[in-house]
Chain A
Amino acid sequence: MRTFLAIALLSCAALGHAQDVLIRGATVHTVGEQGVLSNADVLVRNGKIAAVGTNLSAPSAVTTVDANGRALTPGLFGGLSAIGIEEVSLEPTTADSAVILNAPAFEMEWRPEFDVTSAFNPRSVLVPVARVEGLTWTMLTPTSGEGGTLLTGQGGAVSLDGRYDAVLAGSRALFINLGGGANSVSAGSRAGQWMLLEQAIRETRSPSAQDEHLLLHPLGREALAKYLNGGRVVFNVARAADIRRAIAFAKRNGMKPVIAGGAEAWAVADELAREKVPVLLDALENLPYSFDDIGSRLDNAALLHQAGVRIAFTQFNESHNARKIRQLAGNAVAHGLPKDAAIAALTAEPAEIFGLAAERGRIARGQIADLVLWSGDPLEVTSAADQVWIGGRQVEMRSRQTELRDRYLKRLQ
């Protein structure tokens, strides 16, 4: 740990310079065809993974890191979050994840053109807090505040390496909230949600200038049109019946659906598998928080995986403690999910779901070098990230929290 601190002090920027590095003797979770490699080496050049194997020779000017058998994984997914678009949740001047129009139900306005990624602040203190725990990217997600709408807008994935232009190409998605929780923004009924969605589709497909109560503005119609041709649409929905309806709606309208939440997804696992619809879930959900998730259970992840459904983990409305996502994965393993599937659900699977798999989510030649070296089992609550690299750059393992810790530790000792 001291060594890392010394390295950190030498660099002025948030991340060190891109450096060629050879990580030796790691337990490499490739999350790919090679599976888990013991005592393996990973060579990083120009920010990408150049080689994975045993006894790789070190090219000149390469820094060598001895892993001593520790686990090396791809950088982890931070889940659907508001990292960098929210500093203090309850302070409205620092929270940018929802567009709130406060329109009355009878003249509702939807703004699919709202793109939350344009609020991203890479200098947020949440960014280092997340990345020193091994989270290297996250999916910025618009939410529905009070007075918001059920179609909450567009989000996209960002790298947590501190750069300004952090949005990852090809990751964009449209977000729609369904179910009882969205009744307050759909005129009081979940049936109203389908009514309004059908209206938005109609307005987009056959715009009519005369209509008085339009949901969409011209820009909104343009934005929505892009998703009617294979665009990725994330439906936040829990109840089995609503999940089935969301899949059918997406299919009918040329959308590529992703289910988020999915407390009762296990009950329609076969259909999800058949339609190749992935599910983003919180594996700690096991209580009937509402009448939408009466069927909530701890082995949801295991059952979905068993049925052949692609899964990834996420928390909901949790950006500050996004790092807890590892604990979700560990608990899913304790309740029947194979461990390699759990690690994949933090790495390769979310990358696949959000169109990033060509460059992220695995440890393989050609992938971007987002890597985490762990003190122990990567899913264990008693483990921590010893060192993180994003795009081959060594992350300074400090955050505002470690600064506070060090200041007061000194005073207590």
Chain B
Amino acid sequence: MKKTTRSLLCCALLTSACTGTPTQTENQQEPKVAAVPAAPANPYPSTYQAAAAPATLIRGATVLTGTGTRLDGADVLIANGRIEAVGQNLSAPAGARVVDASGKWVTPGLIDVHSHLGVYASPGVNANSDGNEATDPVTANVWAEHGVWPQDPGFETALEGGITSLQILPGSANLIGGRGVTLKNVPATTYQAMKFPDAPQGLKMACGENPKRVYGGQSRAPSTRMGNVAGYRQAFADAQDYREQWHKYERDFAAYQKKHAEQGKDKGKKDADESDEPPSPPKRDLKLETLVAAMNGDVRVHIHCYRSDEMAIMLDLSKEFGFKIAAFHHAIEAYKIADKLAANGVCGAEWADWWGSKMEMFDGIQENIALTDLPQGGCAIVHSDSEEGIQRLNQEAGKAMSRGNRIGLSIAPERAIRWLTANPARALGIDRQTGTLEPGKMADVVIWNGTPFSVYALAEQVFVDGVLEFDRAHPSPQPRSDFLLGQPSAGVQP
């Protein structure tokens, strides 16, 4: 029984490979073997459930849908936690809350693909440092979600900036730092209650200076960029071998079951095979499981990488081992290879203007996001990597848009909003659920006091799955974080 479970777990992990083997296909046709219950794909499942909320009609706003469209004087209807309709003169269902949004702007909820909220929580004391398992250059076995502290006050301040979904990643000390998790930005006492349902996990990898500084400083590998690449290659080579061990086991196990099924039909042969043992599965290796999942496309690869030449190496690495890169994060030099990134379908998740504190950040320019967005198929993302920046991704986008426009690129707000809604949703693999204001999608919506691309912009109302989670006109009288509760000041509430 135990072995059967393991075999299935392998299938869950190695989906594409398992279904691809002829033995497996043959097995699935055998009624006796197929009669096993599905193993849970994730032992730490989401328990998130949106609260019930009344239907809401937002009336007369400038709406940026996230699909590249701007609608003036338009309405957005939210019902049952979903976007019901976007258009002119929508009528409010009975019992609906109606919000007069004339003069306001409405956008999809903002999404940050790169946050360390919860794993590097405020206050930044030693005890709250849970973002880097800096004890080995490859820690693909660790999961950021197991370090997320839901009481980090930064979640609430991010919500006040319009953030409705965010990916929490391990830090960049390691070549392969572990799995990231995508959360809905709702108050909760457990991270599972924030976990975005069915969102794929991420895999954090890091190029360049950080891993070689952390480990080179301990006279360990890697101490050079050569060592970095050797480290990724060995890890993925080991994962290929591991995947093959499981494939072999799958084949042997299937053959064993087939043989016994046949013996069942032909009872005369039974005695001869009584000593026959079923094959033993390989020992589970949590590091390699993660890497196999990345190669299978079940876990999406996010790489901290600044320099254009290193990004090109990582693209080759991804081809060598057959995984897809969702996004390069920080990507200070994305503008030097914007066409290559677009051709490979890889997003660049970037800051508007931060640069220079390391050599690999020395070539930063303020037009980076706009230029990443320029080629056909370009996918630019505004990210934060900061508990301050995540509160004003909209302002970061405003900076990037205006710098693009100053060099003649004519970037309209309806395009720029995609950098912090639809594009990050795509990189995280949640674009079918959120990231745009289209009927059927999750009602993750922000009402702004004016254009969001302004230093004076304030999110007035923030909805997550149709639930009004933040209302600037009626702020919660107490901080939502238990940590701030009872402190001698008002804390995060101005």
Residues of chain A whose beta carbon lies under 8 Å from any beta carbon of chain B: 1, 88-91, 126, 264, 267, 284-291, 294-299, 319-321, 323-324, 327, 330-331, 333-336, 375, 379-384, 401-402, 404-405, 408-409, 412
Which of B80-88, B89-97, B259-267, B355-363 binds A? B355-363
Among B125, B154, B335, which residue has its beta carbon within 8 angstroms of that of A290? B125
Smallest Cβ distance from A261 to chain B, in angstroms? 15
Sample of 25 A–B contacts (CB below 8 Å): A1-B406, A89-B357, A90-B358, A264-B489, A284-B392, A285-B388, A287-B388, A288-B123, A294-B487, A294-B489, A294-B491, A295-B489, A320-B357, A321-B355, A321-B356, A323-B353, A324-B353, A330-B456, A380-B454, A381-B453, A381-B455, A405-B335, A408-B335, A409-B407, A412-B338
Smallest Cβ distance from A268 to chain B, in angstroms? 12
Chain B positions within 8 Å of A379 at CB level: 455
Q: Does B67 contact A (CB under 8 A)?
A: no
Q: Are A288 and B453 in contact (CB under 8 A)?
A: no
Given contacts A295-B491, A320-B356, contact A334 B458 (CB under 8 A): yes
Q: Does B20 contact A (CB under 8 A)?
A: no
Among B356, B358, B494, which residue has its beta carbon within 8 angstroms of that of A299? B494
Smallest Cβ distance from B36 to chain A, in angstroms? 49
Q: How far is the CA of A368 from the CA of B355 in the complex (A)?
A: 31
Q: Are B387 and A381 in contact (CB under 8 A)?
A: no
Q: Are A291 and B407 in contact (CB under 8 A)?
A: no
Interface centre among A88, A296, A375, A412 (most CB of B within 10 A): A412
The 4 closest A-B CB pairs, nearest first, are: A330-B455, A320-B356, A295-B489, A382-B402
Among B359, B365, B454, B489, which residue has its beta carbon within 8 angstroms of that of A91? B359
Chain A positions within 8 Å of B456 at CB level: 330, 333-334, 380
Closest partner residue, chain B, to A330 (CB atom)? B455
Q: Are B354 and A381 in contact (CB under 8 A)?
A: no
Q: How far is the CA of A297 from the CA of B366 in the complex (A)?
A: 29
Chain B positions within 8 Å of A405 at CB level: 335, 365-367, 407
Among A88, A289, A294, A295, which residue has its beta carbon within 8 angstroms of that of B357? A88
Smallest Cβ distance from A270 to chain B, in angstroms? 16
Interface size class of chain B, counting residues whose CB lies under 8 Å from the partner chain:
35 or more
Q: How far is the CA of A1 from the CA of B484 in the complex (A)?
A: 49
Q: Are B454 and A321 in contact (CB under 8 A)?
A: no
Among B336, B395, B484, B490, which residue has its beta carbon within 8 angstroms of that of A408? B336
Smallest Cβ distance from A284 to chain B, in angstroms? 5
Q: Are A404 and B363 in contact (CB under 8 A)?
A: yes
In the complex, which residues 385-409 of chain B have their Cβ closer than 8 Å to any Cβ of chain A?
387-388, 391-392, 395, 398-399, 401-403, 406-407
Q: Are A90 and B209 in contact (CB under 8 A)?
A: yes
Smallest Cβ distance from A135 to chain B, in angstroms? 13
Q: How far is the CA of A297 from the CA of B392 in the complex (A)?
A: 15
Q: Mark B117-134, 1 if CB is under 8 A from A, else 0.
A: 000001111000000000
Q: Does B468 contact A (CB under 8 A)?
A: no
Q: How far is the CA of A319 from the CA of B123 in the complex (A)?
A: 24
Smallest Cβ distance from A330 to chain B, in angstroms? 3
Closest partner residue, chain A, to B458 (CB atom)? A334
Closest partner residue, chain B, to A379 (CB atom)? B455
Chain A positions within 8 Å of B484 at CB level: 288, 294
Smallest Cβ distance from A295 to chain B, in angstroms? 4
Known: A284-B391, A321-B355, A334-B458. 11 other contacts (CB 8 A): A88-B357, A88-B362, A89-B358, A91-B359, A287-B157, A294-B123, A330-B456, A331-B395, A375-B406, A381-B454, A382-B402
Q: How far is the CA of A404 from the CA of B456 in the complex (A)?
A: 31
Q: Does B371 contact A (CB under 8 A)?
A: yes
Closest partner residue, chain B, to A290 (CB atom)? B123
Chain B positions within 8 Å of A91 at CB level: 359
Closest partner residue, chain B, to A89 (CB atom)? B357
Q: How far is the CA of A354 from the CA of B259 in the complex (A)?
A: 88
Q: Does B374 contact A (CB under 8 A)?
A: yes
Closest partner residue, chain A, to B356 (CB atom)? A320
Chain A positions within 8 Å of B407 at CB level: 405, 409
Smallest Cβ distance from B110 to chain A, in angstroms? 16
Chain A positions within 8 Å of B455 at CB level: 327, 330-331, 333-334, 379-381
Q: Are A298 and B367 in contact (CB under 8 A)?
A: no
Closest partner residue, chain A, to B455 (CB atom)? A330
Q: Does B364 contact A (CB under 8 A)?
A: yes
Given contacts A380-B454, A408-B335, contact A291 B359 (CB under 8 A): no
Q: Does B153 contact A (CB under 8 A)?
A: yes
Q: Are A382 and B453 in contact (CB under 8 A)?
A: yes
Q: Does B492 contact A (CB under 8 A)?
A: yes
Given contacts A291-B123, A381-B453, A382-B453, contact A335 B489 (CB under 8 A): no
In the complex, which residues 334-388 of chain B have their Cβ closer than 8 Å to any Cβ of chain A?
335-336, 338-339, 353-359, 361-367, 371, 374-375, 387-388
Q: Does B488 contact A (CB under 8 A)?
A: yes
Q: Are B335 and A384 in contact (CB under 8 A)?
A: no
Chain A positions within 8 Å of B363 at CB level: 404
Q: How far is the CA of A297 from the CA of B487 in the complex (A)?
A: 13
Chain A positions within 8 Å of B364 at CB level: 320, 401
Given contacts A1-B406, A290-B123, contact A408 B371 (CB under 8 A): yes
Q: Are B492 and A294 in contact (CB under 8 A)?
A: no
Smallest Cβ distance from A168 to chain B, in angstroms? 24
Smallest Cβ distance from B83 to chain A, in angstroms? 28
Closest partner residue, chain A, to B359 (CB atom)? A88
Interface centre among B123, B157, B338, B453 (most CB of A within 10 A): B123
Q: Are B492 and A297 in contact (CB under 8 A)?
A: yes
Smallest Cβ distance from A345 to chain B, in angstroms? 14
Given contacts A382-B454, A401-B364, A408-B371, contact A287 B355 (CB under 8 A): no
Q: Are B365 and A287 in contact (CB under 8 A)?
A: no
Q: Are A412 and B362 in contact (CB under 8 A)?
A: no
Q: Mark B321-345, 1 if CB is under 8 A from A, else 0.
A: 0000000000000011011000000
Closest partner residue, chain A, to B403 (CB atom)? A384
Among B123, B356, B399, B487, which residue has its beta carbon within 8 angstroms of that of A381? B399
Chain A positions within 8 Å of B454 at CB level: 380-382
Closest partner residue, chain A, to B451 (CB atom)? A382
Smallest Cβ distance from A73 to chain B, in angstroms? 15
